[in-house]
Amino acid sequence: MDQDTKEVVINQDENPDDNINHLKSRTSRKSALDFRKYTKQIWLAGLGAFSRAEEEGNKLFDSLVKVGEELESKTIEITDQTVTKVAGKTKESVIETKDKVEKVLDQRINHSLNRLGLVTAKDLKHLESLILELHDKVDALVAENLNLKTQIPKK
């Protein structure tokens, strides 16, 4: 038996309330000592953590900056590639749309001009080709006429 238990046994003859008060007092002193001990340990652990953080903080900060720089450069590279792809696709789409709109407008304008009885660019091209064909035939006839004149004997 430890000394506290002996005291309790020895003091059993005395007032039981005194024994309970004595035990409470002893337990509260022990709890207070334990509390102070744990409080000091927590304080020392905090100081140790602060010291360690201060020592390794700069290293950690530098490594985080390096990781951030690498991430930023990768992000910029990916963003540039994506912007280039999107710009290319957009340009192609705009060109296709423009060509479709021009074709539709040309068809509508030509249709409207035909309804009004006006000459269209298509009509002019057709007339030009007919004129060139006619010009070639006239040139051929002129050449044939000269050839025939040279073959006819003069009187």
What does the DSSP assignment read for the chain?
--HHHHHHHHGGGS-HHHHHHHHHHHHHHHHHHHHHHHHHHHHHHHHHHHHHHHHHHHHHHHHHHHHHHHHHHHHHHHHHHHHHHHHHHHHHHHHHHHHHHHHHHHHHHHHHHHHHT---HHHHHHHHHHHHHHHHHHHHHHHHHHHHHHHSPP-
Q: Which of 100, 82, 80 shows the shortest CA–CA distance to 92?
A: 100
Give me the pLDDT at residue 49, please.
85
**pLDDT means over runs of 10, the chain (155 residues):** 46 55 65 81 87 80 88 92 93 94 91 82 90 97 91 76
Give me the pLDDT at residue 7, please.
46
CB 76 within 8 A of CB 83: no
CB 26 within 8 A of CB 4: yes
Sign of the Cα torsion 116, 117, 120, 122 reads positive
Instruction: Enter the tokens of residue 42.
Output: 């927590």
Say what the pTM is. Answer: 0.37
CA-CA distances (angstroms) from residue 147 to 50, 84, 136, 143, 153?
117, 69, 17, 6, 12
